[in-house]
Structure 1
Amino acid sequence: MNKLLRSIVTYSYIIGYIPTQLNTLKKLRKRKAELTTAEYDQAVFETPQRWSQNILKKAGATAHLTGTENLQEGPVLFVANHEGNFDIPVLIATVPKPFGFLSKVEVKKIPFIADWMDELNCVFIDRSNRRSALNSISDSVESLKAGHSLLLFPEGARSKGNEMKEFKTGFVRIAAKAQVPIIPIAIVGTSRLMEQNENKITPAEVFVKILPAVYQQQDESTDTFKERVERLIQDARSDLQGESR
């Protein structure tokens, strides 16, 4: 299958699958009062996970996941590097723990997808509005305190396979206020699926590594802790790049 045809098939599936699952969402919402937070999050996660796994198949992506032994019970803040647009589907497809994620507010305008994102407890942010950015920190903290795990990309923009961008410190404040562990994740290869091919979808191998949970020390400054997490992900990313060659 050539790149153009693969792109058309993949994008058609991305757009076309979720509207077919509205009845599933309605049924889940009716069951919400019967389930614990963890049970409901798992039930909601199954459809986006299946959707993401099929997206990877149609894109020709082969995902390799290591480090699942580092996952924990209860809410956690996943912190990952941001290589490409396929980061979210790759992580939803492979990480066996439900989570929501921080997303641009423009996504709320997309029918059907926004409905599922609400149930995943995603947090929306308008990066052009400082008040919205501050509110997103509060919303993230509240979601974590309510028992939902969350994924953040502290770079704020895709590296597209180049060097990681400097992390912003917001994730440190979120974890501290919510009193949850940070679980770093390193990702390599997602930009090969799209960004490095003039945005035409191309088969590629993707590597994901879940690292042990990290905690801010009592005498550790926000900047120092941010740099420690950033360095852990950078080192793991370098190891994965060696494996992917």
Structure 2
Amino acid sequence: MDAAATSVQRRRWLPWARRQAAAYLAAAGGGGGDGLVASAVSAARVVACFLAMMVTTAVWAVVMLLLLPWPCERIRQSNVYGHVTGRMLLWILGNPIKVEGLEHLRARGIFICNHASPLDIFLVMWLAPTGTVGIAKKEIIWYPLFGQLYVLANHLRIDRSNPAVAIESMKEVAREVVKNNLSLILFPEGTRSRDGRLLPFKKGFVHAALQTRLPIVPIVVTGTHQAWRNNSVRVRPVPLTVKVLPPIRTDGWEEGQISEHLETVRSLYVRNLPDSQKPLDALAARKAN
């Protein structure tokens, strides 16, 4: 898409976002979504999300148990679970969502997403194509409900106890992806950003690309850090945007240029995120120039 078209899209999107945010804040009682009515509405929605997730998790747990002899089918059924549960939770929470570039999710790839809120997880659950395996730290098994279903669904875990072990874990993940004709989805920062600003990327997704030669598909999410803030149980009615960027081919990548490949991909996020989510060093470099 050329710069002129991007500028037109931005001019169309910003007024829509402002109108949606104003309408939601007015309905919630104003005050940036921090009033008593807004708090009660948010609490009711969070409880409804938890109850709804308990129901869908219980249903799909039975499905996974029936599919124990077929590990790949468990992965695909978990994607169906994600489509249903992720979209349902987002609908319950009520944030306006704008999605661009869905056509880039139609082919196999390594899908990566920035991570600043639990809402990011709901979004990738909803949008990940069928046949996509997730990757998470091995400790996810201790997360109530979700962690147990994650393991039962045959999604992959890595040991992040030290870099060498993590790289070997990622290579094993890549072998499973190639063997079973799957896609992969992960958060390249490796952890959740506390203030929404982009963190440094881990090298795991580059190692996965070198092993699988699948294209990397960046998913840029904005607004979730404001909608569900760190150390808060309140979900505010902030508009969310999801922009899926065109795939990046990796068939010509070389192992000797891992750091360069990593920064090439991360720079796309820096360019596409708003200033409130850009890393501070990128903002400082822009001012210096």
Common fold by TM > 0.5: yes
Shift of 1:120: 4.8
SS at 2:150's partner residue?
helix
Shift of 1:28: 4.3
**Residue aligning to 2:127:** 94
For 2:84, give the aligned amino acid: R
SS at 2:206's partner residue?
helix
For 1:223, give the aligned amino acid: S
Q: Does 1:178 align with 2:217?
A: no
Shift of 1:43: 4.0
**Counterparts of 1:208 and 1:215 in 2: how far apart (Å)?**
21
Q: TM-score, normalised by structure 2?
A: 0.69
Residues 132, 193 of structure 1: alpha-carbon distance in 2 compared, 3 angstrom cutoff: farther
Q: Does 1:188 align with 2:225?
A: no
**Residue aligning to 2:44:** 5
Residues 120, 240 of structure 1: alpha-carbon distance in 2 compared, 3 angstrom cutoff: farther
Matches within 5 A, 1:188-227: 188-195=222-229, 198-216=232-250, 217-218=252-253, 221-227=257-263
For residues 101-150 of structure 1, what are the alpha-carbon distances to aligned partners after superposition, in whole Å with 9 as ceiling and x for unaligned? 22122221346534542465422134335565234212321232121111
For 1:202, give the aligned amino acid: R
Q: Which region of structure 1 is more displaced relative to structure 2, 189-198 or 179-188?
A: 189-198
SS at 1:195's partner residue?
coil
- In structure 1, runs of 5+ residues without a counterpart are none
- In structure 2, runs of 5+ residues without a counterpart are 1-39, 278-289
Residues 240, 67 of structure 1: alpha-carbon distance in 2 compared, 3 angstrom cutoff: farther
Give the length in aligned residue pairs.
Answer: 235
Residues 96, 70 of structure 1: alpha-carbon distance in 2 compared, 3 angstrom cutoff: same
**Residue aligning to 1:117:** 150
Q: Do the aligned residues in 2 keep the contact of 1:67 with 1:209 (CA within 8 Å)?
A: yes
**Residue aligning to 2:104:** 70
SS at 2:112's partner residue?
strand
Shift of 1:22: 2.8
1:48 to 69, 82, 93: 82
SS at 1:187's partner residue?
strand
For 2:133, give the aligned amino acid: G
Q: Do the aligned residues in 2 keep the contact of 1:123 with 1:139 (CA within 8 Å)?
A: no
Q: Do the aligned residues in 1 keep the contact of 2:210 with 2:253 (CA within 8 Å)?
A: no
Structure of higher RCO (CA pairs closer than 8 Å, 6+ residues apart): 1
SS at 1:213's partner residue?
coil
Aligned-residue CA RMSD (Å): 3.0
SS at 1:5's partner residue?
helix
Q: Do the aligned residues in 2 keep the contact of 1:123 with 1:136 (CA within 8 Å)?
A: no
SS at 1:6's partner residue?
helix
Residues 27, 203 of structure 1: alpha-carbon distance in 2 compared, 3 angstrom cutoff: farther
The runs of at least 4 consecutive aligned structure 1 residues that moved more than 6 Å come to: none
Q: TM-score, normalised by structure 1?
A: 0.80
Residues 9, 27 of structure 1: alpha-carbon distance in 2 compared, 3 angstrom cutoff: same
Q: Which region of structure 1 is more displaced relative to structure 2, 172-181 or 1-10?
A: 1-10
For residues 142-191 of structure 1, what are the alpha-carbon distances to aligned partners after superposition, in whole Å with 9 as ceiling and x for unaligned? 23212111112111222245321111222111111122111111111222
**Counterparts of 1:112 and 1:157 in 2: how far apart (Å)?**
20
Q: Do the aligned residues in 2 keep the contact of 1:67 with 1:211 (CA within 8 Å)?
A: yes
Q: Do the aligned residues in 1 keep the contact of 2:79 with 2:128 (CA within 8 Å)?
A: no
2:265 to 219, 229, 232: 229
**Counterparts of 2:276 and 2:99 in 1: how far apart (Å)?**
11
Higher helix share: 2
Identity among equivalent positions (%) equals 24
**Counterparts of 1:119 and 1:64 in 2: how far apart (Å)?**
32
Shift of 1:96: 4.1
SS at 2:118's partner residue?
coil
**Residue aligning to 1:14:** 53
Structure with max Cα Rg:
2
Q: Do the aligned residues in 1 keep the contact of 2:220 with 2:244 (CA within 8 Å)?
A: yes
SS at 2:134's partner residue?
strand
